[in-house]
Amino acid sequence: MTDAGTLHAITVLGHDRPGIIAWTTDRLAGLGLNIEDSSMTLLRGHFAMTLICAGAASDEAISEALDPLSADGTLTVTVREVPHEEAPAAPGSQWVLTVHGGDRPGIVSTVVGQVAAVDGNITDLTTRLAGDLYLLVAEVSLPDGVDTAALEAAIKAAATELGVGATLRAVEADEL
Amino acid sequence: MSASNERLAAWTESELAVSGRVLEVVRAPASVLSTDGDRVDPTAPEIVQLAADLVATMRVSPGCVGLAAPQVGVGVKVFCVDVSEHAKTKTHHGTFVLCNAEVVESSRNEKAREGCMSAPDFTGDVKRASRVLVRGQLPGTGEEIEVRTDAFEARCLQHEIDHCDGYLFLDRVAGAHAVYARQTYL
């Protein structure tokens, strides 16, 4: 659905507790908004949710409806109208990048910098820290024509400089 | 069952004729876990001892169905497995150790959740072949073995061979949402 009113990006961040999603989505439904996409997780125990909603309500009306959520100061809510994004015409090839090793500053920026250098796009990213083990898993879209062997070599070289390991693998999609 | 498979199924660690010692299992980010292991002489006394040590360490580790040399800090291509008690097992060959093993044939990929004693805080969805032909050598005699197996034993063999080649299951997870914080470790 893309033609029913405007699109709004809504973020809710902060202290986790039961019922945040139920309450939020009830208010959004009350405004006649349709949740077109969503992502929610706990980041180091913090509630982190992003919703893309479509409907006729304004940013101001949505913010007002969600105001009680942030009343006690433990949650931060933002609402912003966003444009309709067209899907990329040439998606290129899809890859999974894994990096793991001893935790230190700069792992993410250094490794994904290699991806950015060839105009690769990170389409999903997870990083985890457990004890001294830092783990990064990224889904990467590469434009056609990228020398993937050279990119993998550059990523591995950058990872080696950091004392971590990296692998870049093509996504295998099984068509059924 | 082929003669090679029968030989493997009949193998026990008593053939090694040495007592296994329980070794400490190392965890990521230990560099030995990300280093391609050296090929070994399966008849060398230190490799026979290592084989016994791997089996002994596997036996005392709850839920452990396989252990590779890099997991005990030794960067060589030796591992043990025993999936005989696991619920997802179909074909199995009991306890065995292989040296210099490699996957020769593989087919029928399936995705499943894996964990590892060397990365105990995570599990991950990994796609692996559910039917494999693996070639390796027995410790002690050095006999060449070709084992054809399936399901959980096939997955376990690929996981352990990956260890010997310097890869963790984390290097194989299916995507950014395919890695999970482990709630409890068996």
Q: How many Cα atoms occupy the beta-carbon half-sphere of B167 within 13 Å?
A: 16
CATH topology of domain A6-82: Alpha-Beta Plaits (3.30.70)
Radius of gyration of chain B (CA): 15
Query: What whole-number distance in Å separates Cα of residue B121 and Cα of residue A129?
Result: 9
Token reading at B72: 């005990």
Q: Which residues of B105-127 are buried (b: 16+ CB within 10 A; e: fewer)?
A: ebeeeeeeebbbbbbbbbbbbbe
Give me the pLDDT at residue A114, please: 96
* Subunit contact B176:A139, Cβ cutoff 8 A: yes
Give me the pLDDT at residue A1, please: 45
Of B29, B109, B173, which has the smallest distance from its Cβ to A133's Cβ?
B29
Give me the pLDDT at residue B184, please: 53
Give me the pLDDT at residue B4, please: 84
Nearest to A141 by CA among A90, A99, A98: A90
C-beta neighbour count of B80 within 10 angstroms: 28
| Four-CA torsion A89, A92, A96, A100, nearest 10 degrees | -100
Q: Do domains A6-82 and A93-170 have the same CATH topology?
A: yes
Interface mutation target, options B109, B165, B168, B171, chain A, most CBs of A under 10 Å: B171
List residues of chain B with CB under 8 Å from any CB of chain A: 27-29, 31, 34, 109, 119, 121-122, 127, 166-168, 170-179, 181
Omega before residue B29 within 30° of 0, cis: yes
Give me the pLDDT at residue B1, please: 66
Contacts of A133 in chain B (CB under 8 A): 27-29, 119, 121
Give me the pLDDT at residue B186, please: 46
Helices (H), B107-180: 151-164
Q: Which residues pair with A7 in a beta bridge?
A: A54, A82
- What ipTM goes with this model? 0.85
Give me the pLDDT at residue B2, please: 83
Whether residue B128 contacts residue B112, with contact meaning beta carbons closer than 8 Å, is answered with: yes
CATH of the domain at B131: 3.90.45.10
Which residue numbers in chain B have pLDDT < 50? 185-186
Q: What are phi and psi of B165, to 5 degrees?
A: -95, 5
Residue B186 domain-assigned (yes or no): no
What residue ranges do the domains of chain A occupy? 6-82, 93-170
Which of the following is catalytic: B13, B114, B153, B160? B160
Determine the straight-line distance between the first and last CA of chain B, rounded to whole angstroms. Answer: 32
Please tell me whether residue B150 adopts helix, strand or coil conformation: strand
User: Across the A/B interface, how many CB contacts are shorter than 8 Å?
Assistant: 68
Domain extent, residue B73, equals 3-181
* Averages of pLDDT over each 10 residues, chain A, 176 residues: 79 97 97 96 95 97 96 96 80 92 92 96 94 95 95 95 93 74
Give me the pLDDT at residue A2, please: 47
* Subunit contact B28:A96, Cβ cutoff 8 A: no
Catalytic residue list contains B146: no
Give me the pLDDT at residue A89, please: 60
DSSP-assigned letter for residue A119? T
Model pTM score: 0.88
For chain B, how many structural domains are there in total?
A: 1
Domain A93-170 architecture: 2-Layer Sandwich (3.30)
